Amino acid sequence: MENQTYLTPGDAAQRLGVSASGLKRLAKIYAELYGPLPRDSADNRLWPSDAIERLEAARALVETKRISSIKEALHAVDRGIDVPAVDLAAPPSTLDVLRERLEALTLLPMKVEALEARQTEAIELLHQAVSMAEEGDRMARESEQRAELLQDTVTDLAAAVSDLRRRIEETAPREDGKPDYIATMEAVHADLERRHNVLLAELERRRLEGEQPKRRAWWRWWG
């Protein structure tokens, strides 16, 4: 203690690089840990050299982000703790965060519009597919109805020819051979039956072909 030197408040502030008010704050913190600082005859604080050295070491720890407060730094200096430097990456500023969010909000309407367009297109394609299926069903029903009507017409015609043949056979005189008109009527009847079968087959083929293109379009759309 005999070699202890003392600095005036002005010299202490200059050495620590603080203002007069900053030195008073340091004096208050220092007094809480080590007791009041000595004073001269004019009641001005005197700063011992060891106090200045402690505060220099403590302020170095705070300024290099190793410790957050002067009081904690003074404790570390007294205990001789070697506090490693902390690499504190600068967090993104509030302005940068707001800028990113603003950009995201600016793109949001375009994304929503694109989704709505895709949804509208999908709904339209679905309506087209349903309309095509309904049209195919309608054409199939019409083909079946026409086939049934034509079948009934041909059947009635064949029955009429058979009845005509029967009447001719009952009324016409017969000789040794079969009359020419009987052979003619048989040929006509056979030709009508053949035409009837061919016509039914053709109607069935057209009915199937009428459905097939619609079905291919339906599956091609889904594919």
Burial annotation 108-137 (CB, 10 A radius, 16+ → b, else e): eeeeeeeeeeeeeeeeeeeeebeebeeebe
Per-residue pLDDT of 202-212, as tens digits, reads 888 877 876 65
Burial annotation 34-67 (CB, 10 A radius, 16+ → b, else e): eeebeeeeeeebbbbeebbebbeebbebeeeebb
Per-residue pLDDT of 16-54, as tens digits, reads 999 999 999 999 999 998 999 999 999 999 999 999 999
Give SS3 for 140: helix
Q: Which residue has the higher pLDDT, 201 or 223?
A: 201
Mean pLDDT value of segment 1-16: 84
Q: How far does Cα 70 stand from its chain's mean position?
A: 52
Angle at which helices 20-34 and 49-63 cross, to 10°: 110
Mean pLDDT value of segment 134-140: 83
Q: What is the pLDDT of residue 52?
A: 93
The percentage of the chain sitting over the pLDDT mark of 70, rounded to a whole number, equals: 77
Q: Which residue has the higher pLDDT, 140 or 15?
A: 15
Please state which of the ranges 17-26, 62-71, 73-82 shows the lowest mean pLDDT: 73-82
Mean pLDDT value of segment 74-100: 69
Q: What is the pLDDT of residue 147?
A: 72
Q: What is the pLDDT of residue 201?
A: 85
Please state which of the ranges 29-38, 72-81, 129-138, 214-223 shows the lowest mean pLDDT: 214-223
State the burial class of residue 12 (Cβ atoms within 10 Å of its Cβ: 0-12, 13-18, 19+): buried
Q: What is the pLDDT of residue 162?
A: 75
